[in-house]
Structure 1
Amino acid sequence: MNNDLSRAFPAATLRGLWTYRDFVLGSVRREFASKTSNAVLGASWSLLSPLAMIVVYTVIFAQVMHARLPGVDAAAAENAPYAYGIWLCAGILGWNLFAAIVARAQGMFIEQAGLIKKISFPRICLPAIVVLSALLDFGIMFGLFTLFLLGSGNFPGWVFAALAPVLLLQTLLAIGLGTVAGVLNVFFRDVGPFVSIAIQFWFWLTPIVYPAAILPDSVRALLLDWNPMARLVAAWQDVLVAHTAPDWAGLAPVALLAMLLCVLALYLFRRRAGEMADEL
């Protein structure tokens, strides 16, 4: 059962993850430490980099450049001077987590070819490491952003808790898609570059740095109806900017898609586990 997902999923899979939990957590710690191991400021960069992003989007865009959300008049902008910066940060932070998981997952089996070839190694640990590493980076950035919301008087209140299921849904969508791409990438090496390019186009097809309201009606309907990340980004913006609960009904199709991708990923993972070791 240890050489792949095994026939006893999900109990066996969870048992394998629990058995190798020290390996998973240790890998996450080593990966985080390796990012700053040779830097003079060390782990401080993990705080300085996201802090710089928050300052650029919230202070420079909103205060220096006097940017504001379309449709918000000058008087309202004076009362909420950071609205545009918060709107940008909400979308970009959510997108960056999604893109980071997909990007890492599509290459994880090739990068860890040595581990894949070890019979006793449960391969399900690799997606877990990818997710936890991405969530650690995201947690640092989002923690600083939350402190900014509190300090600037823009904290949304109890509705902030609604981000937990949104985060879970987005993570499932990302790891499902990334794992499917990761398995295919072992057999068809064009998949990796294709996913990287597709993610770049996907970013600009998602209303993150521009509001969906500026798009023509036909294009807006297409993006919002068929782009799952558009709905997830809107959920982040609803909570952090409008201080309202997400459109749960609108997120239902995204949840279904995430579940289907995860099931497909597990199916491919289980069926092709032995062949993957030979290809690598």
Structure 2
Amino acid sequence: MFAAIHRYRGFIIDSVKRDFQSRYQTSFLGAAWLVLQPVAMIAVYTLIFSELMRAKLAGMDGPFAYSIYLCSGVLTWGLFTETLNSLVNVFLSNANILKKLSFPRICLPIIVSASAFINFLIIFSLFVLFLVVTGNFPGWVFFEMIPVLLVQMVFTIGLGIILGVMNVFVRDVGQFVSILLQFWFWFTPIVYVSKTLPEWAVDLLRFNPMATIIGAYQNIMLYRTSPDWAALAPIAAISVVLFFLAWRLFRKHSADIVDEI
């Protein structure tokens, strides 16, 4: 796999560039849409929930506390959903390329994952700039985001490839994922604080891997503390297992995918 990826690295890089350009080259505002959509979402949630949730953020009374809490969740959740949605539809969306060109099919998941990650880096860099300007940059603990991001991407890519292969053979999977993500978002403490939930719901959050991952970002950005590595460890293990299952499933059905689409 790695040899094939290295051999086709030029194809992957060029495809990522084309994907980014094709999204915004015919748009008047161009890449500004990357910023406008999450900013609009954050502004709406801040307007509605800020006063209610500010009191729930223990020991964090600053004017930007809830905004930092919200941005930490919304932006990283956006990376999760964009990557997952792209992977679920990656083979169907690129049916013509798969039929006409000969290249390692594993390149497609890499291309869409890399595109989503670059989009995330652009908008997240602006968030980091906001933290620096307002004097809320968390310091060295910020770099503990890197392993958390790695766990999130491995989890998302593994889950996304599995669902993407399934979606080729059962097209309902793509529709199901769209609905699932709506419920999943509200079952993850992004807009609200987990303290606002009843005790039984808080207990259920332990089975939501994204709740732990998002909570790690919020700890770093808002509370300036290290993530709960003990809670992240089983999610990291699950992510690795998902990734290898995805690879095996992909290899097994790689030839069938082209015939099915």
**1:149 equivalent in structure 2:** 131
Q: Give the counterpart letter for 1:42 in structure 2.
A: G
Q: Give the counterpart letter for 2:92 in structure 1.
A: I
The structure 2 residue matched to 1:89, chosen from 62, 68, 71, is 71
Is the contact made by 1:51 and 1:141 (CA closer than 8 Å) also made in structure 2?
no
TM-score normalised by length of structure 1: 0.87
Q: How does 1:178-217 map to 2 (within 5 A)?
A: 178-217=160-199
Is the contact made by 1:54 and 1:89 (CA closer than 8 Å) also made in structure 2?
yes
| CA–CA distance in structure 2, aligned partners of residues 219 and 68 of structure 1 | 18
Do the aligned partners of residues 72 and 232 (structure 1) sit closer, same or farther apart at CA in structure 2, a change above 3 Å counting?
closer
Shift of residue 40, structure 1, vs aligned partner: 2.4
Do the aligned partners of residues 266 and 76 (structure 1) sit closer, same or farther apart at CA in structure 2, a change above 3 Å counting?
closer
State whether structure 2 residue 249 is matched by structure 1 residue 258. Answer: no
Is the contact made by 1:54 and 1:145 (CA closer than 8 Å) also made in structure 2?
no
Do the aligned partners of residues 17 and 220 (structure 1) sit closer, same or farther apart at CA in structure 2, a change above 3 Å counting?
same
Do the aligned partners of residues 55 and 154 (structure 1) sit closer, same or farther apart at CA in structure 2, a change above 3 Å counting?
farther
Please state which structure has a larger fraction of its residues in helix.
2
**1:279 equivalent in structure 2:** 260
Deviates more, 1:40-49 or 1:192-201: 40-49
- Greater Rg over alpha carbons, structure: 1
Do the aligned partners of residues 48 and 204 (structure 1) sit closer, same or farther apart at CA in structure 2, a change above 3 Å counting?
closer
The structure 2 residue matched to 1:163, chosen from 145, 149, 152, is 145
The structure 2 residue matched to 1:173, chosen from 146, 155, 166, is 155
**2:228 equivalent in structure 1:** 247
Is the contact made by 1:179 and 1:265 (CA closer than 8 Å) also made in structure 2?
yes
State whether structure 2 residue 28 is matched by structure 1 residue 40. Answer: yes
TM-score normalised by length of structure 2: 0.93
Task: Write out the 4+ residue segments of structure 1 that deviate beyond 4 Å after TM superposition.
Answer: 47-58, 65-68
The structure 1 residue matched to 2:81, chosen from 99, 102, 109, is 99
Shift of residue 55, structure 1, vs aligned partner: 6.0
Do the aligned partners of residues 218 and 51 (structure 1) sit closer, same or farther apart at CA in structure 2, a change above 3 Å counting?
closer
Structure 2: stretches of 5+ with no match in the other structure: none
| CA–CA distance in structure 1, aligned partners of residues 180 and 42 of structure 2 | 26
Q: Give the counterpart letter for 2:115 in structure 1.
A: S
Tell me the SS of whatever aligns to 1:121: coil
| CA–CA distance in structure 1, aligned partners of residues 215 and 31 of structure 2 | 32
Shift of residue 131, structure 1, vs aligned partner: 1.0
Deviations 1:141-191 (A, max 9, x none): 100000000000000000000000111110111111010000001111111
**1:231 equivalent in structure 2:** 212
**2:11 equivalent in structure 1:** 23
Tell me the SS of whatever aligns to 2:146: helix
Aligned-residue identity in percent: 47
Do the aligned partners of residues 76 and 250 (structure 1) sit closer, same or farther apart at CA in structure 2, a change above 3 Å counting?
closer
| CA–CA distance in structure 1, aligned partners of residues 56 and 169 of structure 2 | 49
